C-alpha cells in the first residue's frame, strides 16, 4: 500500500482484529480492534436450530426452525404467533405487509396471515394458501407483493407462483419454471 501524502510504500498486516503497519523497517501497531456488539434482545422458544430470519415492514422478527415451525416475535422478545404446518424444517421465510411466506424441506411453501403487533400468542396449524411444484427442499423464498411468490429449491428449479389475478400480467394463475438451460412453462390453476 502506498500512502497518498508521502508516496512511501507501507506494509499492512491484519491479524486478530489488529492492524500492524511498517514503513522503512519501522513497525507501528495501530489498535484497530473491531468493536464487539452484544445482543440487546433474545428470542427464545424454538425447540431446534433456527435456520432463517426476516424483519417485517413493521420491525417484527420472523424466524424459521428445524422444529418445523416459524415464529413471529415482537420487539420485546415475545412470541406473538407460531406457524405449525410444515412436515419438515422451515428453511426460508419472507413477508409483505400482511402475510408471511414459509418454505420448507417438505418441498412446500405456505402463505400465512401475520398477527397484529399487540396480539396475545396463538398457534396456527393451517396456512391461507399452499404453493407446490418443487421436488426438492425449498432453499430460498421471495415475495412479489401480494400477488406472487418466488421460490428456489435443491431440485434446481426457480418457480414464480402467481396466486391472485393481476392486471399487469397477461397470464394470471401461472407457475413459470427455469431449470438450467431448459425453459418451460407450467400452467397451474390456484
CA distances (Å), 8 to each of 3, 26, 31, 168, in order?
6, 13, 21, 60
Q: Which of 60-69, 110-119, 138-147, 179-188 is predicted least confidently? A: 179-188
Percent of the chain residues topping a pLDDT of 90: 42
Nearest CA-CA partner of 117 in 82, 80, 77, 83: 80
Q: Which of 93-97, 100-104, 144-148 is predicted least confidently? A: 144-148
Residues in the chain: 190
Whose grid coordinates read 413471529?
Answer: 72
Cβ atoms within 10 Å, residue 27: 10
pTM of the model: 0.70
Is the predicted pLDDT of residue 137 greater than 60, yes or no? yes
Distance CA 28, CA 75 (A): 44
Most confidently predicted of 4-13, 60-69, 71-80, 177-186: 60-69
Euclidean distance between the first and the last CA atom of the chain, given in angstroms as a whole number: 60
pLDDT score of 107: 96
Distance CA 140, CA 152 (A): 5
Distance CA 190, CA 185 (A): 15
Is-contact 90 65, C-beta < 8 A? yes
Amino acid at each position: 500500500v502506498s500512502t497518498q501524502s508521502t508516496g512511501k510504500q507501507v506494509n499492512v498486516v491484519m491479524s486478530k482484529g489488529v492492524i500492524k503497519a511498517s514503513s522503512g523497517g519501522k513497525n507501528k501497531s495501530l489498535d484497530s480492534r473491531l468493536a464487539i456488539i452484544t445482543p440487546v434482545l433474545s428470542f427464545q422458544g424454538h425447540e431446534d436450530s433456527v435456520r432463517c430470519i426476516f424483519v417485517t415492514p413493521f420491525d417484527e422478527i420472523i424466524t424459521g426452525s428445524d422444529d418445523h415451525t416459524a415464529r413471529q416475535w415482537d420487539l420485546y422478545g415475545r412470541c406473538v404467533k407460531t406457524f405449525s404446518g410444515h412436515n419438515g424444517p422451515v428453511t426460508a421465510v419472507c413477508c409483505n405487509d400482511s402475510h408471511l411466506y414459509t418454505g420448507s424441506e417438505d418441498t412446500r411453501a405456505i402463505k400465512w396471515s401475520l398477527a397484529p403487533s399487540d396480539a396475545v400468542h396463538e398457534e396456527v396449524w393451517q396456512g391461507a394458501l399452499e404453493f407446490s411444484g418443487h421436488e426438492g427442499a425449498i432453499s430460498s423464498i421471495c415475495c412479489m407483493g401480494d400477488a406472487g411468490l418466488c421460490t428456489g429449491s435443491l431440485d434446481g428449479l426457480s418457480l414464480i407462483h402467481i396466486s391472485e389475478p393481476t392486471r399487469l400480467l397477461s397470464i394470471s394463475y401461472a407457475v413459470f419454471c427455469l431449470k438450467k438451460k431448459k425453459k418451460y412453462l407450467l400452467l397451474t390453476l390456484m
